[in-house]
């Protein structure tokens, strides 16, 4: 049952990164846009970004429900990182929502700067957080740890942070390449093609360091070959994305970009399992699906309502998107 | 109490208080918005129900009013969302041991809030804000109802979470952690129902006074007459209904649950030191915890016993019979917060009664003094709501989960989050929230200054797309 919730949490976090990932990427790219393009780009993500963010809140809630010990340990141990995420989320929300409130160039420049900086920083910080989870944290026997800011920013985590930034920026570029009108779409296509190479280089480049910090991530796959499906998904998506880019099929390329992210995250989850928060030095102190999970009754109940709530949420999305865009077929701007 | 715990408490007090200022209004407005939209959509000249018997022009005014309040709602919702995420994170960052201890139970309701309420609320709010012209009148009405449902479901799960901290039920302890053993027991916590109704009714009181206050403001300025009359009428009637419900039965019943399950908090609220038969109800007084007395009191003899037990001579337990290590940290704080809440509640009820009387006599729109009172009353509702939560949270002390986990034992370990770290982020939040607060006031004042007609004018026509029209839930 705890394993089921490991999958559910992984699913929700993956959904969050795939969905919010492209608007974070658009945010990071908005630095490169001129004023009109920036208006167009923020117009495209304006109605959907906070719906995407609900996945973070809901995913965090389910993590708290199913693995309270891991939630408590990770959030307190990565204190500065977590508070930084909060501040960046607030800054980003304010930046995008307030930019149109006053018709003053200075005001808009200020909002846009906050928006792109916090978007880029969030993409990076999420990578850093995942990097730390993969590397393991210095858990003590009581299940808690403390990482100072510069220990959070270790070389491996920074590398993964950079990877996160590139992957999400490419995801954002893919989105614009598909959704925006020319000439913005043309520029975005160029970025998407160039960032694809960045993704390829970093994906291959991260493999060695990952083996260095956590070799069992690889041995797990040798023990359970079926789990190789996830890295295969990631690499296949990467290849398909390139092919679709060259064929000029940008909606498929965007989907492939999302599938690549999903492949990476599920590879990580499959490699870590049964650990949910591994330890860096004293391996036995690591938090696993078994020792961090809550009681059986709670998980059973939660599975019931979760299976009702998520289809409902999907229905809301479909209904609302159809409502908003059925009447205006001229501007079908949502994915 | 060690140092880092104080910092964690201050930080949570700041972030939760600031956050809650916004849901108070959204939850209250959600109900009133749903009402305005219902009248606008279902109303007609031949309806049997008098509330729905409206001319086409009246219905248009109700629709304009709904549109105007949706703009206010959207700003509040946006700030509520960004400040609400902070709270979920803080359970983990600053209250790790509490999360570890109680996540098996309250994780349930917090996760349900996210999955059931937030998706519903955020998606349909986006549809509602997009406007009637975009999604059609029927869906616009349905969206209003679903936004209302989402925000009240969200409130319910949060109250059930808090109710478990106030009065833990439906759990068993395993390995030093609370595990849920009855889902329906958790949702049916006897504490939760009256806390929920009391809380939601308090939110509607705020919504009602904000409606009436805005109507009064425009009436005194001589602007937007039709809109103001709808706001005044709906606001005053809702204020009368919900200030009454706030006192009876919800306030009364909730207080009786506190007396039964948290005698320490109850005694602190009432400033009752010696246990007494036929205990008096204190209207005014200053508690002195050193000498264990109330000074300068005005009392109503035996009333407290009657209110708690419906018997004039019933026994009420005072703080003297409770060990001091189980007293709330600050008895005066609990006492004053409670008396401020009750005092303001009474004043608001009186304003609502007089307002409703004048409305019935048909003189409300001309009574300058009453309009001034209505225009200035709404901040009192915020103070009363926050004071009520102050009673709940400080009255529960020294426990974070009443009787199970002390607050000091619930904070993150000092080794993970030292006091200095917490202080740094506390100051950061204070600065950031000051900025958010100023922006909020700026935007709200601008919406009110533009008035409902501006809202009307910015409505996009069905024919031409208006790219500047905000479609996000949060954009205004």
Task: Look at A26-30, A221-225, B285-289, B371-375 and tell me which has the smallest mean pLDDT.
Answer: A221-225
Q: What pLDDT is attached to residue B388? A: 96
Residue A52 in domain: yes
Residue A335 in domain: no
This complex has an ipTM of 0.87
List all residues 6 or more positions away from B352 whose beta carbon is below 8 Å from its beta carbon: B208, B236, B239, B240, B243, B244
Domain boundaries, chain B: 3-243+401-457
pLDDT at B370 over 50: yes
Number of domain units in chain A: 1
Residue A334 in domain: no
Using an 8 Å Cβ cutoff, are A104 and A111 in contact? no
Q: What pLDDT is attached to residue A333? A: 45
Interface test with A, best of B93, B127, B177, B443 (most A CBs within 10 A): B93
Q: B261 in contact with A at a CB cutoff of 8 Å?
A: no
Using an 8 Å Cβ cutoff, are A237 and A176 in contact? no
Beta strands in chain A (DSSP E): 275-277, 287-288
Banded pLDDT at A183 (limits 50, 70, 90)? confident
Q: What percent of chain B clears pLDDT 70, i.e. is strictly above it? A: 95
Determine the Cα–Cα distance for residues B418 and B431; give it in Å rounded to an integer: 20
Burial class of residue A6, CB neighbours in 10 A (0-12, 13-18, 19+): buried
Residue A231 in domain: yes
Determine the Cα–Cα distance for residues A324 and A334; give it in Å rounded to an integer: 9
CA distances from B315 to A144, A193, B212, B272 (A): 47, 79, 43, 12
Using an 8 Å Cβ cutoff, are A181 and A40 in contact? yes
Banded pLDDT at B2 (limits 50, 70, 90)? low
pLDDT at A174 over 60: yes
pLDDT at B205 over 60: yes
Query: Of residues B135 and B431, which shows the higher confidence score?
Result: B431
CB count in 10 Å sphere of residue B195:
24
Tell if the CB–CB gap between A298 and B108 is shorter than 8 Å. Answer: yes
Q: Which two tokens stand for residue A246?
A: 């060259």
Dihedral (CA of B265, B268, B274, B276) sign? negative
Region B248-275: mean pLDDT is 92
pLDDT at A329 over 70: no
Tell if the CB–CB gap between B472 and A83 is shorter than 8 Å. Answer: no
Task: Look at A208-222, B1-15, B171-185, B376-390 and tell me which has the smallest mean pLDDT.
Answer: A208-222
**DSSP code of residue B116:** I
Please give the residue range of the domain that contains residue A30: 2-324
Mean pLDDT computed over every residue of chain B: 90
pLDDT at A334 over 90: no
Banded pLDDT at A326 (limits 50, 70, 90)? low
Mean pLDDT computed over every residue of chain A: 87
Q: What pLDDT is attached to residue B461? A: 40
Render pLDDT for A20-73 as a digit per residue (tens, 0 to 9).
899 899 999 988 888 888 888 888 887 778 778 888 888 999 999 999 999 999
Using an 8 Å Cβ cutoff, are A318 and B200 in contact? no
Determine the Cα–Cα distance for residues B125 and A51; give it in Å rounded to an integer: 10
Residue A170 in domain: yes
Alpha helices in A145-228 (DSSP H): 149-152, 155-179, 184-213, 216-223
Query: Of residues B8 and B457, which shows the higher confidence score?
Result: B8
Q: What percent of chain B clears pLDDT 90, i.e. is strictly above it? A: 69
Helix axes A155-179, A2-29, angle to 10 degrees: 70
Nearest to A142 by CA among B423, B293, B412: B412
Alpha helices in B94-189 (DSSP H): 96-112, 119-130, 132-135, 137-166, 183-187
Q: Residue A84 belongs to a domain with what CATH number?
A: 1.20.1630.10
Region A141-161: mean pLDDT is 86
Interface test with B, best of A76, A107, A122, A276 (most B CBs within 10 A): A76
Region B108-120: mean pLDDT is 92
Q: What pLDDT is attached to residue B209? A: 97
pLDDT at B324 over 70: yes
Closest approach of A72 to chain B, Cα-based (Å): 4
């Amino acid at each position: 049952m705890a394993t089921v919730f490991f999958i559910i949490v992984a699913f929700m976090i993956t959904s969050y990164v795939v969905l919010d990932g492209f608007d974070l990427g658009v945010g990071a790219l908005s630095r490169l846009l001129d004023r009109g393009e920036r208006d167009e780009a923020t117009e495209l993500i304006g109605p959907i970004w906070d719906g995407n963010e609900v996945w973070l809140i809901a995913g965090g809630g389910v993590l708290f429900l199913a693995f309270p010990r891991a939630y408590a340990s990770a959030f307190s141990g990565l204190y500065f990182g977590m508070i930084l995420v909060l501040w960046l989320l607030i800054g980003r929300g304010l930046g995008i929502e307030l930019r149109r409130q006053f018709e003053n160039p200075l005001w808009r420049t200020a909002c846009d700067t906050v928006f792109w900086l916090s978007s880029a920083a969030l993409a990076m910080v999420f990578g850093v957080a995942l990097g730390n989870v993969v590397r393991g944290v210095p858990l003590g026997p009581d299940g808690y740890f403390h990482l100072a800011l510069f220990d959070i920013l270790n070389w491996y985590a920074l590398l993964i942070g950079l990877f996160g930034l590139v992957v999400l920026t490419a995801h954002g570029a893919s989105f614009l390449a598909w959704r925006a009108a020319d000439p913005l779409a043309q520029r975005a296509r160029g970025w998407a093609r160039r960032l694809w190479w960045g993704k390829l280089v970093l994906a291959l480049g991260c493999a060695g360091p990952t083996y260095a910090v956590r070799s069992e991530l690889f041995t797990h796959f040798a023990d359970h070959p079926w789990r190789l499906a996830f890295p295969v998904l990631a690499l296949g998506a990467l290849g398909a994305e390139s092919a679709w880019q060259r064929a000029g099929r940008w909606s498929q390329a965007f989907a492939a970009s999302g599938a690549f992210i999903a492949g990476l995250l599920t590879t990580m989850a499959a490699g870590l399992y049964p650990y949910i928060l591994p330890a860096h030095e004293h391996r036995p102190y690591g938090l696993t699906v078994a020792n961090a999970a809550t009681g059986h009754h709670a998980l059973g109940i939660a599975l019931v309502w979760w299976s009702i709530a998520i289809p409902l949420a999907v229905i809301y999305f479909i209904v609302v998107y159809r409502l908003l865009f059925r009447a205006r077929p001229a501007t079908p701007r949502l994915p | 109490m060690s140092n880092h715990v104080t910092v964690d408490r201050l930080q949570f007090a700041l972030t939760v208080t600031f956050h809650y200022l916004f849901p108070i209004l959204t939850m209250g407005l959600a109900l009133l918005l749903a009402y305005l939209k219902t009248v606008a959509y279902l109303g007609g000249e031949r309806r049997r129900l008098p509330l729905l018997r409206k001319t086409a022009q009246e219905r248009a005014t109700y629709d304009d009013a709904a549109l105007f309040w949706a703009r206010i709602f959207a700003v509040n919702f946006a700030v509520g969302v960004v400040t609400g995420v902070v709270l979920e994170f803080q359970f983990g960052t600053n209250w790790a041991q509490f999360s570890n201890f109680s996540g098996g139970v309250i994780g349930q309701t917090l996760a349900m809030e996210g999955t059931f309420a937030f998706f519903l609320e955020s998606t349909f709010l986006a549809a509602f804000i997009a406007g009637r012209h975009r999604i059609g009148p029927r869906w616009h009405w349905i969206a209003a109802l679903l936004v209302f449902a989402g925000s009240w479901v969200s409130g319910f799960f949060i109250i059930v979470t808090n109710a478990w901290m106030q009065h833990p039920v439906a759990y068993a302890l395993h390995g030093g952690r609370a595990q849920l053993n009855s889902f329906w027991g958790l949702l049916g916590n006897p504490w939760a129902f009256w806390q929920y109704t009391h809380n939601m009714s308090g939110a509607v009181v705020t919504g009602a006074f904000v409606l009436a206050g805005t109507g009064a403001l425009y009436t005194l300025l001589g602007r937007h007459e039709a809109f103001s009359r709808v706001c005044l009428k709906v606001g005053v009637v809702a204020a009368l209904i919900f200030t009454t419900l706030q006192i009876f039965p919800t306030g009364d019943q909730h207080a009786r649950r506190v007396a039964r399950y948290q005698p320490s908090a109850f005694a602190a609220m009432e400033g009752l030191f010696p246990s007494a038969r036929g205990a008096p109800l204190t209207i005014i007084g200053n508690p002195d915890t050193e000498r264990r007395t109330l000074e300068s009191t005005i009392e109503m003899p035996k009333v407290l016993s009657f209110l708690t037990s419906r018997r004039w001579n019933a026994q009420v337990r005072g703080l003297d019979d409770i060990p001091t290590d189980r007293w709330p940290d600050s008895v005066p704080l609990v006492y004053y917060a409670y008396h401020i809440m009750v005092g303001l509640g009474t004043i608001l009820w009186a304003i609502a009664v007089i307002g409703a009387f004048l409305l019935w006599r048909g003189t409300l729109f001309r009574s300058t003094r009453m309009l001034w009172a209505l225009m200035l009353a709404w901040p009192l509702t915020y103070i009363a709501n926050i004071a009520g939560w102050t009673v709940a949270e400080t009255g529960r002390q020294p426990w974070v989960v009443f009787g199970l986990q002390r607050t000091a034992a619930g904070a993150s370990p000092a080794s993970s989050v030292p006091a200095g770290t917490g202080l740094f982020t506390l100051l950061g939040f204070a600065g950031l929230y000051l900025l958010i607060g100023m922006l909020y006031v700026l935007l709200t004042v601008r919406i009110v200054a533009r008035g409902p007609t501006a809202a009307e004018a910015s409505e996009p026509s069905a024919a031409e797309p208006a790219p500047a029209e905000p479609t996000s839930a949060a954009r205004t």
